[in-house]
Each structure stands twice: as C-alpha cells, then as structure tokens.
Amino acid sequence: MSKPSLEEVEGRMRPGRYSQVGFLGLHESLRDVLAADAHAMALLGLSHAQLAAPLRDLLAAALAKRSRTSRSDGYVVRVRAHRGPQICPFAADPHASPCTPGAYRFASIDWDIRDARSGCHLKGPGLLVHLIEAHGFFEGLESPCRVSPAALATLLRLHEAPGAQDDGLRD
C-alpha cells in the first residue's frame, strides 16, 4: 500500500477521526505544524531520535513496574493504560499494520512525568514517542495532547529553556 498524502493524514488527525480530541485542531495545517516543529528542533540542535529515546526509556521503566510508577534519576513517571492502542494516522494502512516496527509499543498508555529536581512536569500520549521519532510530529498547537519540542527537551534535561515557567513546565 502506498504512503498516504499529507492531506489524507491531516484529515485523519481531525477531532473525532483517529482520536476523540484530535491530533490537530479543526483549522490547523499539518504542513505548518510540521514546519514549525522542524524549526524548533533545529533551534534546539537535537534530532527527533535524541528527543524520543529518553522519553522511550522513561516509559519503558515505568511499564516494567507493577505499580506503573517509576522513580529514577530524579524523575517520577506514571503511566495509565487504556484498552486498545491509539493508531498512527501516518500509516499507509493504519488499521492493518503500523507504519514502523514497534510503533505501537506505548500506544495504549498516557504518561505523566515530573522532574523532581527542576519541578518541570508534562503529560502526553504514549504514541508520541513514535510520532516524534518517525514523523517529527508533536501534535497540533490546538490539540490538548500537544507536547512542544522545547518543553520536552527541557523536561528531559536536553535543553534549558529560558522562561520555562511561562511555558507551563512548572506547577
């Protein structure tokens, strides 16, 4: 099956399609969101893999615990499991197979991570690991599940964001 067009993927991302709340807002452009996030990543000087890997490691450690809570290196990570996985809207045949091996490893969880050292705190969907690494996508600016590249880099101690308190990184 061929790769879907950007317009088809954008349609899948609207609220009520592949996600109740949507990966994108009703009037957002997927192309614009991807471009803005690529620019943010360039400013951070990080690759998508460099940002996704520590998030993946923290989630894997939390999932390995029976309590679904992990404490390590100053982080408190909580995961909440759901019945079925969230489907990647970028996949050529999303309901039959994921777009990359292992894409859905965390797709049936939501996470909540707090850095006890800095007070930074973020929440997000488990599928975000795959979306960042494979597609450079952090969800749309209007999505309640959005995690900005700078906020995630700050939480993971990969970048010190000036004005972090203004970005909702601290409680």
Q: Which two tokens stand for residue 105?
A: 């490893």
Contact 14, 24 (CB under 8 A): yes
The percentage of the chain sitting over the pLDDT mark of 90, rounded to a whole number, equals 71
Inter-CA distances, 57 with 20, 62, 65, Å: 27, 9, 13
Which pLDDT belongs to residue 162?
A: 52
pLDDT band at 166 (very low <50, low <70, confident <90, very high): very low
Are the beta carbons of 138 and 146 closer than 8 angstroms? yes
pLDDT tens-digit profile of 19-31? 899 999 999 999 9
Return the domain boundaries, the chain.
Answer: 6-167
> What is the tens place of the pLDDT at every residue in 43-80?
999 999 999 999 999 999 999 988 888 998 999 999 99
Q: What tens digit of pLDDT does each residue of 98-114 get?
A: 787 778 889 899 999 99
pTM for this prediction: 0.89
Q: How far apart are CA 120 and CA 44, in angstroms?
A: 18
* pLDDT 10s digits, 139-152: 999 999 999 999 99
On average, the pLDDT of the chain sits at 89
41 exposure class (CB count in 10 Å sphere: 0-12, 13-18, 19+) = buried
Q: Report helix angle 48-64 to 128-135, nearest 10.
A: 160
* CA–CA dist 165, 150 (Å, integer): 12
In this prediction, residue 169 carries a pLDDT of 39
Mean pLDDT of 154-161: 86
Separation CA 152–CA 85 (nearest Å): 22
